Amino acid sequence: MMERLSSRSLPVEWAPEVDPRGLSIGIVHLGLGAFHRAHQAVFTERAAAMTGESRWGISGVSQRSASVRQQLAPQDGLYSVLTRGLDSPSLQVIGSMREVSTAPEAPAAVVARIADPAVAVVTLTVTEKGYRAVAGGGLDLADPEIQADLAGRPPRTVVGQLAAGLIRRAETGAGPLTVLSCDNLVANGPFLRRLMEDYAAALGSVRSRSVDGRSVLEDGRQSKLGTHGEPAGERAGVVAIGSSSGNLAARLAGQLESTRFPASMVDRIVPATTDADREEAARLLGVRDEALVVAEPFIQWVIEDDFAGARPAWERAGAVLTEDVAPWEQAKLRMLNATHSMLAYLGGLRGYETIAEAVRDVELAELAGELMTRDVVPTLTPPEGLDLAAYGTSVLERFANPALKHRTAQVAMDGSVKLPVRLLGTVRDRLEAGAEPRIASLAVAGWMVYVATGRDANGRELALDDPQAARLREAATSAGPGAAGLVDAMLSIETVFDKELAADKVFRSLLIEGVSSLQSD
């Protein structure tokens, strides 16, 4: 078998732009998936190469699966990015990933690294569902994982990890931190700050809520052991720092005052890596890369220039630093991401396996264009320098890239948390303007039929990968007769549709029309 990529086996001609051995860790990244490795890590590598700075190595944390650690650790953190465009593919080996861990396996180590005085920035790509928020934007305090973190276990949610790390930094005087969300969320920086403030408020009331609540906190502190045998709460710096959770909450609240949460917008298509991709990369590299990621040539990062301290010179690598990310963010979420979702649901129902196949369907391509021009563009105020018409054209051209095998099933994941961010804002704005958001409503109807039908036009199963899968299935199976029955059942899911939107007669009528046409198609 071909030798595996590592610092020892890497051919010298494929050496990273910066020497990994000279990098110290200054960034913690939560949510170590393919997107981060193809996006923020690439910007960070380029910035280090441009400036010669050696303090911005990355400590990457996978929130769930150990597979990323198993891919990267034997390779000394090295991996390659295979860029697929219309021309021949290109390859780049990245060396900025200096440490890899899995949160459930080493929660205390994650907290300790966030608290490290050398760390100045924490970035996140944990997807919309990873924040554990309710529909209105606050923290879901009923979530059992959030409750467990509040009760004192070594934290396993991103909010709990950040809270524990900030508390530790407050105690040790490690200095302020910048927490930079890179997920597709409206005003993702302020959104995350609110979640942290909600957590701090809840932490302050943990002991005073009830006798049972106090018992849970104490039991969690006494019975759960860390990886080295010490009380896990003490090692994580969560519950056994001093006295009451009220003190912890006060420390956290104080630290949040100096922590910065800039907003950001990220853009790059990163499909799932296939065996064919790995074979091509191995042919180019001469060694086997188990951590390969694939991406399109286009890459963009817009960041609010609001940092608590030092940061990489990402602007040297092509990132845009600005005072206002919102116009960029809205254009991307409502044009690119919304169109992506619509093509995933309508294309998936028609039996297309990839987004590129769906865009080659003339009818779906026309609908995608109409979604942007008729429904989305009237709701946007474009940032300076962005031509919305040209941007919409480029979106469809990127989706049509035949070299990218971006699966409709992959894009269709987590619809219950994606739709409110990508599509429902457009629907609301058009309704408030007295217009009928016909195409945007058809996209939402596509999601409803995708959930309810579970099969494409060829009879193949459409997997429902969603944090609310059980509730969605229950609503679909208990729906009344006809298109109206399904629409009413799905509109009743208040974690997706707020009461005002669910009660809108125009929206309901458009949904019924869309569901009916899709069911008969």
Instruction: Work out the pLDDT band at 352, boundaries 50, 70, 90.
Output: very high
Does the pLDDT of residue 234 top 50, yes or no? no
Higher pLDDT among residues 234 and 86, named by residue: 86
Q: Kindly report which listed range (25-29, 47-51, 95-99, 202-206) carries the lowest average pLDDT score.
A: 202-206
How large is the average pLDDT for residues 170-191?
96
pLDDT band at 136 (very low <50, low <70, confident <90, very high): confident
Q: What is the pLDDT of residue 245?
A: 67
Q: Please report, for residues 349, 371, 488, the alpha-carbon distance to residue 507 in angstroms, rounded to integers and kept in the order given.
A: 22, 15, 11
Residue 392's pLDDT is what? 97
Quote the CA–CA distance of 296 and 291 in Å, as a whole number.
Answer: 17
Per residue in 247-263, pLDDT tens? 999 999 999 999 999 99
Beta bridge partners of 267: 300
pLDDT of 219 above 50: no
Residue 220 pLDDT class (50, 70, 90 cuts): very low
Q: pTM of the prediction?
A: 0.86
Distance CA 196, CA 189 (A): 11
* Distance between CA atoms of residues 251 and 264, nearest Å: 27
Please tell me the predicted confidence (pLDDT) of residue 487: 98
The enclosing H or E element of 327 equals: helix 326-331
Q: In the chain, pLDDT over 70 holds for what percent of residues?
A: 92
As a whole number of angstroms, the distance between CA 484 and CA 125 comes to 37
Q: Read off the pLDDT of residues 442-486 as tens digits, 9 standing for 90 and up.
A: 999 999 999 999 999 999 999 999 999 999 999 999 999 999 999
Note the helical H segments in 126-187: 144-150, 158-172
**pLDDT tens-digit profile of 281-307?**
999 999 999 999 999 999 999 999 999
Do 303 and 262 contact (CB within 8 A), yes or no? yes
What are the residue ranges spanned by the domains of the chain? Answer: 12-137+155-192+259-264, 325-520
Start-to-end Cα distance in the chain: 49
User: With bands split at pLDDT 50, 70 and 90, how would you rate the model's confidence at 354?
Assistant: very high
What mean pLDDT is predicted for residues 497-518? 97
Q: Distance (Å, rounded) from C-alpha 507 to C-alpha 505?
A: 5
Task: State the Cα torsion 67-69-70-74 to the nearest 10°.
Answer: 160
Q: Does domain 12-137+155-192+259-264 sit in CATH 1.20.1440.230? A: no
For domain 325-520, the question of CATH label 1.10.3720.10 is answered with: no
pLDDT > 80? residue 359: yes
Please give the Cα distance from 341 to 299 (Å, whole number). 20
208: amino acid identity, one letter = S
**CA 157 to chain CA centroid, nearest Å:** 14
Residue 213 has pLDDT above 80, yes or no: no
